[in-house]
Chain A
Amino acid sequence: GQNIDQPTEMTATEGAIVQINCTYQTSGFNGLFWYQQHAGEAPTFLSYNVLDGLEEKGRFSSFLSRSKGYSYLLLKELQMKDSASYLCAGVSMIKAAGNKLTFGGGTRVLVKP
């Protein structure tokens, strides 16, 4: 199967930095998405990595190493509103058209004052 593994829960302090790791099997995925999901709400897009390296977007950065099957999401200058679940999702092509997302179980991040 195509497993996506990420920690279940992390706690950090307001203003700090948190790194959420995600590991996956190296075959089968063409890229990696990160989504944020607040309780009871829809996932919202954060980042998409298809090439190796770091993608920076404001306070959020995402890194991908395809050879190692490893990605991380870095949240800087944490704010209370960042308390949410962060979902790592591998992308695989479906019959050369469209993308199927395989999600990990999500990492619940709790930001404390």
Chain B
Amino acid sequence: NAGVMQNPRHLVRRRGQEARLRCSPMKGHSHVYWYRQLPEEGLKFMVYLQKENIIDESGMPKERFSAEFPKEGPSILRIQQVVRGDSAAYFCASSPLVGEQYFGPGTRLTVT
């Protein structure tokens, strides 16, 4: 049973470009969470999604950030017009209805 998969593992973008981060949850998991980890800091919750629904996006910046989890395919975290402050590790986690969240390897975004 493959774990949570994220790609790309490393992403470099220039200021103003768009970044697309993908997450495929573990088989059988319908709940996806996105977290951001700034250098030397803890993980911060961004958004929680189920298939085709955003359940809680209280941790998402109001502008430039969006997330989706379509019926088919991976969950996507999209950051438009990236700025240097967006440089961070973005982790996706998945879970069954309740219980442990399993984390993916993360995408390290660097904005130059």
User: Chain A interface (Cβ within 8 Å of chain B)?
Assistant: 33, 35, 41-45, 48, 87, 89, 94-95, 97-106
Contacts and interface: CB of A to CB of B under 8 A. Distances in A.
| 3 closest Cβ pairs, A-B complex | A42-B103, A105-B42, A103-B42
Contacts, number: 63
B56 A94 contact: yes
A48 B100 contact: yes
Interface of B: 31, 33, 35, 41-45, 48, 50, 55-56, 91, 93, 95, 97-106
A95 B43 contact: no
Contact of B105 (A41, A98, A103): A41
Contacts of B48: 94, 98, 100
A97 B97 contact: yes
Nearest to B103: A42
Contacts of B42: 87, 103-106
